[in-house]
Amino acid sequence: MRYGKVVGVFIGLAIYLIKVRFDVFGALLIGFSATYFISALTNGGSIEGIISGRLPAVGAAFFVRALAPQYKREILWGGLIFFEGMAIANLVILFTVEPWTEPLYPFGWQTAIAGRNSWGLYSIPGLFCSLFLDALKKRKGSCRTAVLFIIAIIPLFFSFSATTLLMISFGCVVFVLIQFKRIRVYCNPLTYTILYLAFFALIVLAKIPAKIWGATIPFIGKSTSLSGRTDIWDATVSLFDGQHALFGYYNGLTSPLVIGEAGGQEIYWSAHNAILDQLLWGGLILLAFSLAIFFLSAKEPFLRRSGYSAALCSLVLGVFLVHGLTEMIVSVPFAFWIAFIFAWFLPSGKTHQSLSRAGRKDTSLPCA
């Protein structure tokens, strides 16, 4: 499987070079990838570990960016089959395999498919694929989408995840709101980014929940440490100094996030936050490339924010930002959608974004 990931990365890059050759989106992906390699070389890491561990998401982004402008429907069907196949396989394991059974159920809180807080990274992106396919047929929903929604919420009853619940709740509320044209214009990437940064400052940096409620958040019954995340965030922030500020600590082999006293220490590979993860894995340089890629994809949905298509794209970004508040965001599902949203507004066969003005009518979907 490790070598399969490596091959997948190069296939995605090859298709991109053949179909697109080069554009700003690809340049940013290359810079993003190069930062990992520089971090690995700086920290004495494994190049193969970087390719197989972090770059499959980059390969997926190259692949989708190259083909989506001409093959939107095919890419959506491919994404739906892949993501929902993973989600259904996860459900089968939940229903048929006893917890702690190796290798399909190695831990009580995760299956071999995904961890408890990552199940939504398959079922929810698949659900969005279905919504876009509905929109291409001038529909706002379908029986298929309703079934996929049920598949997305079933795991919550077996192994509860507050992160997934928040993603689904946010998605449902905003999906209703974007049906109204007057409200839709406010449901855009800028709004979601401001909200994300506000919650990042209040929860991650200032730890306001602990200061207000003490030990337990009353309305969700979770500890104000958010299952130990506050310790991980503090450890991540405390790591940075002049030596690692630019390129971080990532080397593909070990993690500097060690929490706890000797004899009871735990190693964490993720800082459990989108911003802190980028700082940990690649420092300020990786964070800069990550933000540039995000804002490049968010540009057109913001400029066309009065249209249904743009609002649906914005909703996808918003749901991933909810996930990125307490979990890592760099993944194949996120890469699929960040590339698809960028490519969605490109004229078929073109390698550049079309010019647009704020408020211009969105014609990228029949039901816009």
Question: Could you give the CA distance from residue 225 to residue 287 in angstroms, rounded to a whole number?
Answer: 25
Separation CA 19–CA 1 (nearest Å): 27
According to the model, what pLDDT value does residue 94 have? Answer: 83
- Kindly give the parts of the chain with pLDDT less than 70: 1-3, 109, 218-221, 251-253, 261-264, 348-368
At 155 the pLDDT is 85
Distances (CA, A) of 77 to 58, 86, 152: 20, 14, 17
**What is the value of pTM for the model shown?**
0.90
**Contacts made by residues 231-235, CB under 8 angstroms, sequence distance 24+:** 231/259, 232/257, 232/259, 232/268, 232/271, 232/272, 233/204, 233/271, 233/272, 233/273, 233/276, 235/259, 235/268
What's residue 250's pLDDT? 76
Which pLDDT does position 291 carry in this prediction? 97
Contact 280, 236 (CB under 8 A): yes
pLDDT value at residue 95: 83
So what's the pLDDT on residue 161? Answer: 82
CA-based nearest residue to 53, from 334, 263, 332, 312: 332
Of 225, 251, 227, nearest in space to 42 by CA: 251
